[in-house]
Structures are given as structure tokens and as C-alpha cells.
Amino acid sequence: MIFHYLFAFLFLVLGENFLVDGLGCNWGTRATHPLPGNIVVKLMKDNGFNKVKLFEADPRALQALGRSGIQVMVGIPNDMLAPLAASVSAAEEWVSKNVSYYLSSKGVDIRYVAVGNEPFLKTYNNKFTRTAFPALQNIQAALIKAGLGRDVKATIPLNADVYETDAGVPSGGNFRADIHDLMISIVKFLDNNGAPFTVNIYPFLSLYADPHFPVEYAFFDGTSSPVVDGSITYTNVFDANYDTLVSALEKNGFPSMPIIIGEVGWPTDGDPNAKMEFARRFNQGLLNRISQGQGTPKRPSPPDIYLFSLIDEDAKSIDPGNFERHWGVFYFDGTIKYPLKLSNNRNLTAAKGVRYLARQWCIMAPDANLMDPNLPQNITFACTYADCTSLGYGSSCGGLDARNNASYAFNMYYQTMNQQKGACDQFHGLSIITKIDPSYRGGSCKYEIMIDTGRHEKATNPGTSSAGKMHTTFVFVSFLLALIIFCVS
């Protein structure tokens, strides 16, 4: 009976520390006005994200993650694969600087190293095909040499296009013919080192690439256009895509290979299908599955999932499409885009302590002539140096009239340039500064004011209080266990 009461008491007091919902996210840092790292880490903790994937070893991000209790997958960009593949010593130096140092000196809980990002995409035309695997091998060797081989695993986040199915159903899954042997070598290496297979799955891109793709099949609550594969009926593309990978692994002798979803999500702007209602529908369905412990027909238990993405990035490449800068669950400043229910019926929590530039905007002057021959080139100039992806067809600001279109472009340039003196005077007398918010009334177009990155006060590392709590928890647990032993004896 003493066990019953003591463990019940332990659960009541420490339940929050022991119940982990395992929700991960991607934190991209390609922004002209990035949120301070301590605010981002607090944002993650407030919303239950206890795992994060970084695309590079960003020092500010890693510093902020120290002693935060958040598990980290730190990335290596594709342009670093060649030197790491060519030199074991280069890999050892990278591991020493970006893994060992942050683990031992800063208390960053690094669990994985992501070697490259989708290096075998067909659009790369084999640019990284010869370097990705040797880089993975050298990084793993460097981790082992540093004494980290058991605790930190090297993996390669791969796009779902590394596998396919000629049969049109998941059970026909196999690795892409042109890289089949390479993929088997990589999977064997991962398996030998106890590392997971990491894949990025994007139902949005299925819809983006094929105008005839059944919309309902992209979501978790859709029932139309199911795919029947023997005794299994697939009602959404995520399950079908994931199980195609499972089939590929099974077919090649790896039926129990652990899988991590490195990226999955839905953008909110930059394309007609990248809209709030779709993003909310998809991500809420995904979160529901995670909280309910639901996997796929072939793998009933859910894998580790890293939601893509935490916040928008206005300086990210838009080669794949304008939507690339709008994957965040939160806007660039950590404000909430749309409501989501998290585990335990919690709502999203916005970032706290964000400081902004002055409440003023740069717009097209009321007396400026829309027929001015300088107007088109000035809009082009503004959008060359600032993010105008929201102005595209089907986007949140795509329905503006000509004057508001110019105003939006001018303001994005002005804000991106930190509202510097003269930044609104670049447009040949066509612009003026206003203190009246010009945001498009009756629509969803928002004229931004950027974060004032210079005004943020140095905050206490959010991990400090967490470490203190962990120490207190450890002492308290030790006391209770000692008490249990005493009572039993």
C-alpha cells in the first residue's frame, strides 16, 4: 500500500516532468529580422515542443538551447557535404566545434546530426549524390572518435522522392532505380550504427505539383478518393507515402528500421492552396494523430515527427515556390496565425517580449501618379531586396489594387531596411511615410512592421530555470526513492 500512495504522490507532484508529448519542430533561421534565440526557445517550451531540428549549426540558436530540456537535431547544409566527404579531419573538426563543444560547455542536448538536407532531390541533378554518403560516414566516425557514438546519431534527411511505387500502391514501394544501390548502402550504414531513417513528407507538394490531385486526400479527415491496397484502404496521402517507404525498407531487408519524419506541415501564403484554413486543417489533424498515438496501417505506432515549421522565414530561397517563406505555425515575430489545439487541450501561445520598430509605414504617396513610368521599376527594386511573396496570385495580398500593391512593396523594403532614414525616399518621389496602418481593410493583407533586433534586452537563458527545476526534481525523487526503500526494508 505504501507504494501506491508514494507513487501517486510522486505522479501528482511531478507529472508534468514525466509526461512528455514528444512534439518536434523545425527552426529555420533564414530571416532578415530573426527572433532572438531566447524568445524562440521560450516559444517552443510554452507550446510543448521538446524536440527541434536545426538546418545548420547556428551559434545563436545552439546557445539559446543550452540547458533548455529540448532535444536537438543539428544540421549540416548541402554545400558543406563535399569538404566533409573528402576529409575525416574536417568532419572531426566540425563535430568538435558544433557538437562536442555545445554538449559539454553549453549543455545542449544534441541527439542527432542531420548530414545534408534532401541531397538526392531530382532537381539537384546528382550534385550531391557522390558526397552525401561519404560525409555521413565521416561524421559518424568523428562522433565515435569523440566518444559520442552511442548518444548522438548521424542521419540524412531525405525527400520522399527517394522511393517510389510502380504499382501505384504502397505495397509496391521500392527505392528509386537510379539511386537504389546507394540507398541500400546508406540504410545498411544507418542500421549498423543504430541511426534512424529520416524522411520529409509533404502532402501540400502533392497538391502543388498536380492540379488534378484530389484535395481531400491531402488531409487526415478526408474520405474521398481512397487508395485500396489489398486489405488496406488509405484515406490520406501521408499514410500512403509513409507506408510506401516502409514497404521499400521491408523489401530490402529492413522491416524494423526506425523512421523519423524530419519535416511535415502546410504553408499559409504564396500559393492558392497555401492558405490558413488548409494549414489549420492539416496541422490540427497531424497533432491529433500524435496526441492519440496513431501511426499508419503498416506502422501503428507514430514516429518522431518534426513539424515544419515553427516560424516564417522571409529570406529563405523561393526557388521551389513563393510558399517557401510561409511554412510557420507562427508568423516571423512569433504571433499566432491560426488556432490549434495541442495536447491536453491547450491552445497555442504567442511569443513574449518581442520588440518592434516604430509604428510607421512607407506607402505610395496619395498624389503620386499611377501612370508614372518609374513606378514598375521601383516596385521591382523594392521586391528585389524585400519579401513580396504575399503579392502573388492567390496569396493573401494578391487582390490589392495598383496603388496598394505599390504601397505594400514600398513598405516591405522600408521595414526590411530597418526603417532607416532615406529608405522610404528610394522611390523617386512616389512614396511617403505614414503613421496610419495601411493594412488592407476587409481582407487578410497585413502591412508588416519588423522586429527591432537591436532593442531586445539580454534575457536569462530559458534553460537556466529549467535546469534548476530538474535539479530540484532529482533531489526530490531521490528523497522519495530513499523513503520507499526505507519503508520496504
Active site residues: 118, 263
CA dist list (Å): 355 to 7, 176, 358, 411: 45, 48, 10, 18
Report the distance separating Cα 229 and Cα 206, nearest Å.
19
Backbone angles phi and psi of 465, in degrees to 5? -65, -35
Which strands sit side by side in the sheet containing 23-27, from one edge to the other? 153-155, 109-115, 71-76, 49-54, 23-27, 304-307, 259-264, 197-200, 157-159
Q: Computed from CA positions of residues 315, 317, 321, 324, in that sequence, does the dihedral angle turn out positive or negative?
A: negative
Question: How many helices, marked H, and strands, marked E, lie in the chain?
Answer: 14, 15
Contacting residues for 228 by C-beta, under 8 A, at least 6 apart? 169, 234
SS (H, E, C) 183-235: HHHHHHHHHHCCCCEEEECCHHHHHHHCCCCCHHHHCCCCCCCCEEECCEEEC
Report the distance separating Cα 2 and Cα 4, nearest Å.
5
| Bridge partners, 73 (sequence order) | 53, 112
Helices (H), 223-336: 237-251, 276-292
Report the distance separating Cα 210 and Cα 123, nearest Å.
17
